[in-house]
Amino acid sequence: MLLEGQEENLRIMKRAGAKSLFPFHEILSPFQDEEEDKEEEESFDDYIDQITKAGLIKNKSLLFSAHQMGTCRMSSQREDGVVDERGESWDVENLFIADGSVLPTSLGVNPMITIYALSYCIACNILKKKNLEIPPLPEPMSEGPFPSGPTLKGEFEGVDVENLSW
């Protein structure tokens, strides 16, 4: 299924005008689209066949995920974003988005803590809209066999979650 998805993705990008196409195989070179003619189409089909024949090779297929941000931007104005400042869709009532897609753009750093905080705030907004109680924040993580790093300890001290607004 991954190979079929990659094949269709490459075909879509080529139809859209991409001149260089990169497969997720380390063993195959990128496809360079020089001219738009029948011979080039045959060459592209041969390239797709090479990808299919190569299959998925352990530790030779570049599969990864990036932090996708900014695809459902938050904005105080409908024309500038997908969701309002509470995380609710401008177009669909009671549809809330609470992930990195509501950020205006990529942060350039690991977004884990920012997305956690943003999701928490949006969750509180959902509860407020439904007139439900906002539960207390969890206790800070204790020391243990985990790598040290940021925890909830002190992150929300002094924040009035009952009257949270943006």
Q: Where are the alpha helices (DSSP H) in the chain?
A: 2-15, 38-54, 112-129
Report the largest interatomic distance among the alpha carbons of the chain, rounded to a whole angstrom.
68
Task: Write out the two tokens for 97.
Answer: 């988005």
- 67 flagged as catalytic: yes
> Catalytic one among 28, 50, 67, 119?
67
**Spatial distance between the Cα atoms of 98 and 81, rounded to a whole number of angstroms:** 14
Q: Can you spell out the DSSP letters for 30-67? A: PEE----SHHHHHHHHHHHHHHHHH---TTTB------
Residues with active-site annotation: 67
